[in-house]
Every structure is written in C-alpha cells, then in structure tokens.
C-alpha cells in the first residue's frame, strides 16, 4: 500500500477585470481619457475661449473618467464580497521586499503613475475652476436663460470686470456656496423649472462692501458731476429739449469735500435702514435713520403700522426684513441695464443713428419697441415693416425720398430691441427696475415720495436741489442756445402742463407701461 502524497491546492487568483462592471468602467475611463486628450489639444491650440468646449473638456470628460473609476471600485467590492461568501481567503500584499527586483519595478511604476495622476488631477481641477468662473461660462453655457444678463453685461460699463468679481468675490466660502447654487440652477434649467423672467434682485448677493468697494471707495467720492441729456418730444418734428444737471455726488472725506450730496446715505457714520414689503424692493413704507450720536428717526407711510417691528398676521416674514441701505439699493443695475426705449431712442436721435428729420419717428419707434412679440425674429420683421408701412401710409413722399434714412432707422430700432428686449425670457425694462433715478421707475421716490413722516411730523426730504441743480435747459441741441444759470434754474417741463410737474411725481406720467 502506497502513501498518496496530497498535492497542495492551487491558489485561485481573481482579477477585477473579469467582472462586467469592470468592462463598463474600463470603457468609460478610456472614453473619458480619450475625449479629454483630444479636447485638451484643441483647447491648447485654439486662441479663442469657448465655454462649451471648456465645460466638456474640464468638467464632463473628467466626470466620465471618475464614473469609470467608481465602476472599477464597485467591481472590486463585489468580487471580494463573493469570495468571502465562498469561504475563500482574501489577501492583499502591500509589503515590499527590497530583495525582489519585481517589487522595485512595481514601486517605481506606482510612483510614476501617481505623479502623473496628481499632475493631471491638479491641472484638470485648475482648468475646471477657471472654466466655471469665466465670463463665457456664466453668460453663454445656459444660453436662453442667461442671454438677457449676458447681452446687457457686454454693453455695460463693467464689461471687462469678470462676473465672479461681483457675484462671488473673494474667499472660498462664497465660491463653494455659488457652486452649490449653480447645481440647483443647472437642475432647474435641465428640467425647465426656472422662472420667466428670473426673479430679481438676488436676495443673497454678497454685500456691496465686500465687492463693489474693492474698486469704488465711498470715502473718496467727491465733487459734482455735470450731466447733459437731450430729450426728443413725440411731435412731428421730434423737437429736442436739452437739460444740464449738476449732480451732487458729495464727498466722504474732509480732505476731498463736505459729507453731503447723493452719497450721504453711504458715508461717515450715517446709517439708513429700511423695510421693503415686496420681493423686488420697490415698495418701501418704513425708513430708519440712525445718527452718529445713536439718535433714531423713523419715517413711515401713512397707515403703515409696525409697532415694535411686529410682523402683521398672515404676512410673509421675509418681506419685512430690516435691510441696511448700501450701494446696490440705488446702483442695482451696474452691469445689467435694460434701457427704456425712450432712453435708447433719444441717444440714437442725438447721435443721428436715427434721422430726426423723419416725422414722428420717436413716437413710432416707441410704439414699435413696446410691441408684443414672441421672439426676436418676429420683432425684427414687424419693427422693420411697421416703420416702412407707417411712412408709406402717412408720408408717402418721405417714404420715397428717405429710403436710406428709414432703412437706417429700422436697423437701429432692431439693434435697440436686441440689446434690451428678450421675449423668450419675458425680460425687458418693465420687469428690470433701475433704481438709479426717478424716471420710468420709482427709484429715489421709493423713499423720497413726499408721503413719509417721522415721529416729529417732519416729511422725508423731497427737495430736488438736495441731489441736483438744473444749470441749463432749453429747446435746442446747441448748448449756446440754452438758458443757463450756474446757481440753478427752476425746472421747466418740455410740455406745457401748467406747473403740474411740481405737484406730482415724474413716474405718474413717465411710467413702466410707456417707457417715455
């Protein structure tokens, strides 16, 4: 009888590459890496910025690679679990024996691949950060949603200031907050859940003291600013009316001027608080002024009762938040101005992009721009045909003799429309209030409306000369023909309304419905 020698059981080795998830993960990893390399070469060789290419190169492609790696991890976890259920021994060899050459080769391979991976991940992360903070990404990636903001931004005085300088600012906390909010916006855009128009203002916008004042320093404001504006009446001759306003900007530093004027609200130890009872902050029934000596004066609208700041029953508490007055409460559209049609047409007439010799062109232009159109193509067609039809029907001789002038006027009107009206998002000056003045929108009149009184019976200041002086005015484009007085003139309305302007607010006639 012979003793049978028991042969040692052959160790069965498993590999993650045999699992279906590994195959899927490998395909995703390879596809993502290939897509990234191809687009990276295109990005490096191209001299232009493309937000869609940057998004795919540095966000989408790395995301596909990450999903592939996760599938590999899932396959490994599933196989380990299966082996343990079968009673198999699981062993990971993490020790390195320096006497074995193969271990050294594997170590150097691991270190080399890790170095390359760290570099690639760092590069992708940096470029993804730059891409998602770029102006192109902010304004063009979600084209329809962001088109109104993008177009007006590029036409604004801040067109060379990146969006993130104002909407995010410095520091990691606001950047992280903005990116998480961006995920919500991306979700809303993908499922068509966004509002038309987008609600404004942005209630969680970073305070102006942390963004605007990095460039605009209130304590260094000083002096007055002369503003010349030529308006055109809605008569047959499009008659001009020019005014010169001396705007009292005011100073915030004793070295540069007295603390007075428009920026008085923001300088020194002055503090102004207010309550707005609507989302757009256009209805302000309560204003509080706290002096340097800590004395408090409260101005309220007639009938507005808010004893000890108790919110009325049934009212939305968020609408009764006490907000400290800052730059954005007047300069609420520094980069996204939707001009009323009258403002744009006045400028076009002044620069002769529209010929003032065309009868009633201002009135017709206002009506055409304020028309209801479903999209820009329809607006272009109806504005162009509407202007031509008007002169053919009412001034046939002008229609024949001023073909080029009418064509140029049509081109200018459609350009004005494209820059300020966005029918697909239902966005224009009528839903984008500009608080910087008191023409069309209430602006200054939200507080200085002649209605608010304090506990001593005093009315909140309404004297026009507090903020500006009328130093010249008259029915001409020539400054030499204007009535002039550097100490200030009594305002004369271009139309004879028998002094009614002194008893009413400008916006009672010049309102959002007309844009005049």
**The pLDDT of residue 156 is above 50:** yes
Q: Please check whether residue 469 is in contact with residue 488, taking contact to mean a CB–CB distance below 8 angstroms.
A: yes
Give the strands of the sheet with 468-474, arranged side by side: 225-232, 240-247, 468-474, 483-484
Banded pLDDT at 201 (limits 50, 70, 90): confident
422 DSSP 8-state letter: B
Please tell me the predicted confidence (pLDDT) of residue 95: 64
Q: Name the percent of the chain lying above pLDDT 70.
A: 84
Listing DSSP states for 43-64 in one string gives HHH-SS--HHHHHIIIIIHHHH
**The pLDDT of residue 420 is above 90:** yes
**The pLDDT of residue 208 is above 90:** no
Banded pLDDT at 308 (limits 50, 70, 90): very low
Question: How far is residue 144's CA from residue 151's CA, in Å, rounded to a whole number?
Answer: 11
293 DSSP 8-state letter: T
**Cα–Cα nearest to 329, from 259, 434, 227:** 434
Phi, psi of 107 (to 5 degrees): -65, -50
Phi, psi of 371 (to 5 degrees): -65, 165
Q: pLDDT by residue (tens digit) across 459-492?
A: 998 888 888 899 999 999 998 899 999 888 988 8
Range with the lowest mean pLDDT among 267-271, 312-316, 479-483?
A: 312-316
Mean pLDDT score, 130-140: 76
Phi, psi of 273 (to 5 degrees): -120, 160
Mean pLDDT score, 222-245: 90
Question: How far is residue 351's CA from residue 349's CA, in Å, rounded to a whole number?
Answer: 6
Q: How far is CA 136 from CA 44, 77, 442, in A?
A: 17, 41, 33
Q: Please check whether residue 355 is in contact with residue 404, taking contact to mean a CB–CB distance below 8 angstroms.
A: no
3-state secondary structure of 271: strand
Please tell me the predicted confidence (pLDDT) of residue 93: 60
Own/partner long-range contacts of 454-459 (Cβ < 8 Å, ≥24 apart): 454/297, 454/298, 454/299, 454/300, 455/297, 455/298, 456/297
Range with the lowest mean pLDDT among 99-108, 290-299, 488-497, 502-511?
A: 99-108
Element (H, E) at 389: helix 376-394
Question: How far is residue 489's CA from residue 480's CA, in Å, rounded to a whole number?
Answer: 16
Q: How far is CA 383 from CA 33, 152, 284, in A?
A: 50, 21, 38
This prediction's pTM? 0.77
Phi, psi of 402 (to 5 degrees): -120, 45
Question: How far is residue 102's CA from residue 318's CA, in Å, rounded to a whole number?
Answer: 68
Give the angle subtended at the CA of 271 by the CAs of 434 and 284, to the nearest 5°.
40
Range with the lowest mean pLDDT among 44-58, 297-311, 317-331?
A: 44-58
Question: How far is residue 388's CA from residue 96's CA, in Å, rounded to a whole number?
Answer: 86
HSE, side-chain direction, 13 A CA sphere, residue 41:
5
Q: Kindly report the number of other CB atoms within 10 A of residue 323's CB atom.
A: 14
Q: Kindly report the number of other CB atoms within 10 A of residue 379's CB atom.
A: 21
Q: Please check whether residue 216 is in contact with residue 326, taking contact to mean a CB–CB distance below 8 angstroms.
A: no
Looking at every residue in the chain, the average pLDDT score rounds to: 82
Question: How far is residue 430's CA from residue 437's CA, in Å, rounded to a whole number?
Answer: 15
Phi, psi of 182 (to 5 degrees): -65, -35
**The pLDDT of residue 7 is above 60:** no
Mean pLDDT score, 428-432: 90
Q: pLDDT by residue (tens digit) across 10-54?
A: 555 555 556 777 777 777 777 778 777 877 777 777 766 666 666
Q: Name the percent of the chain lying above pLDDT 90.
A: 29
Q: Tell me which of 7 and 190 has the higher pLDDT.
A: 190
Mean pLDDT score, 257-285: 81
Q: pLDDT by residue (tens digit) across 322-342?
A: 888 888 888 989 899 999 999
Banded pLDDT at 96 (limits 50, 70, 90): low
Q: pLDDT by residue (tens digit) across 340-353?
A: 999 999 999 999 99
**The pLDDT of residue 195 is above 80:** yes
Q: pLDDT by residue (tens digit) across 384-402?
A: 999 999 999 999 999 999 9
Assign residue 98 a region (left: φ > 0; alpha: ψ between -120 and 50; beta: otherwise): alpha
Give the angle subtended at the CA of 108 by the CAs of 106 and 114, to the nearest 5°.
100
Q: Tell me which of 98 and 162 has the higher pLDDT.
A: 162
Question: How far is residue 266's CA from residue 476's CA, in Å, rounded to a whole number?
Answer: 37
Banded pLDDT at 252 (limits 50, 70, 90): low
């Amino acid at each position: 009888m012979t003793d049978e020698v028991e042969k040692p059981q052959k160790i069965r080795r498993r590999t993650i590459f045999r699992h279906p998830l590994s195959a899927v993960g490998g395909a995703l990893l390879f596809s993502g890496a290939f897509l990234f390399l191809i687009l990276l070469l295109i990005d490096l060789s191209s001299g232009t910025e493309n937000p869609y290419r940057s998004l795919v190169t540095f966000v989408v492609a790395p995301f596909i690679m990450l999903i592939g790696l996760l599938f590999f991890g899932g396959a490994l976890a599933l196989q380990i679990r299966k082996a343990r259920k079968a009673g198999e021994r699981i062993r990971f060899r993490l020790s390195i024996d320096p006497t074995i050459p193969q271990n050294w080769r594997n170590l150097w391979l691991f270190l080399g691949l890790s170095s390359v991976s760290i570099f690639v991940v760092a590069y992708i992360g940096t470029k993804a950060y730059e891409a998602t903070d770029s102006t192109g990404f902010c304004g063009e990636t979600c084209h329809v949603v962001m088109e109104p903001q993008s177009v007006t931004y590029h036409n604004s005085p801040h067109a060379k200031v990146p969006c993130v300088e104002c909407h995010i600012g410095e520091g990691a906390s606001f950047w992280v907050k903005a990116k998480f909010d961006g995920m919500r916006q991306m979700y809303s855009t993908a499922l068509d859940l966004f509002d038309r128009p987008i609600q404004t203002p942005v209630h969680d916008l970073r305070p102006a003291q942390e963004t605007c004042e990095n460039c605009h320093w209130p304590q260094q404001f000083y002096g007055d600013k002369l503003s010349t504006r030529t308006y055109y009446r809605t008569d047959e001759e499009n008659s001009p009316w020019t005014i010169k306003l001396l705007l009292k900007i005011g100073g915030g530093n004793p070295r540069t001027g007295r603390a007075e004027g428009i920026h008085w609200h923001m300088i020194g130890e002055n503090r102004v608080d207010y309550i707005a009872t609507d989302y757009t902050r256009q209805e302000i029934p309560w204003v509080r002024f706290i002096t340097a000596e800590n004395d408090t004066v409260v101005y309220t609208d007639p009938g507005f009762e808010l004893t000890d700041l108790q919110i009325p029953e049934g009212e939305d508490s968020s609408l009764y938040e006490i907000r400290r007055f800052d730059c954005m409460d007047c300069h609420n559209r520094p980069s996204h101005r939707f001009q009323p049609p009258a403002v744009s047409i006045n400028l076009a007439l002044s620069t002769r992009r529209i010929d003032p010799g065309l009868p009633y062109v201002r009135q017709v232009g206002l009506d055409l721009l304020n028309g209801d159109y479903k999209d820009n193509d329809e607006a272009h067609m109806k504005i162009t045909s509407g202007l031509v039809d008007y002169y053919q029907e009412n001034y046939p001789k002008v229609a024949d003799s001023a073909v080029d002038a009418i064509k140029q006027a049509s081109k200018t009107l459609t350009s004005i429309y494209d820059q300020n009206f966005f029918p697909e998002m239902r966005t224009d000056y009528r839903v984008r209030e500009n608080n910087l003045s008191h023409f069309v929108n209430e602006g200054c009149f939200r507080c200085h409306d002649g209605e608010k009184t304090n506990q001593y019976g005093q009315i909140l200041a309404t004297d026009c000369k507090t903020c500006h002086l009328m130093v010249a005015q008259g029915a001409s484009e020539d400054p030499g023909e204007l009535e002039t007085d550097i100490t200030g003139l009594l305002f004369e309305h271009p139309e004879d309304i028998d002094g009614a302007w002194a008893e009413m607010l400008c916006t009672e006639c010049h309102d959002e419905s007309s844009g005049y």
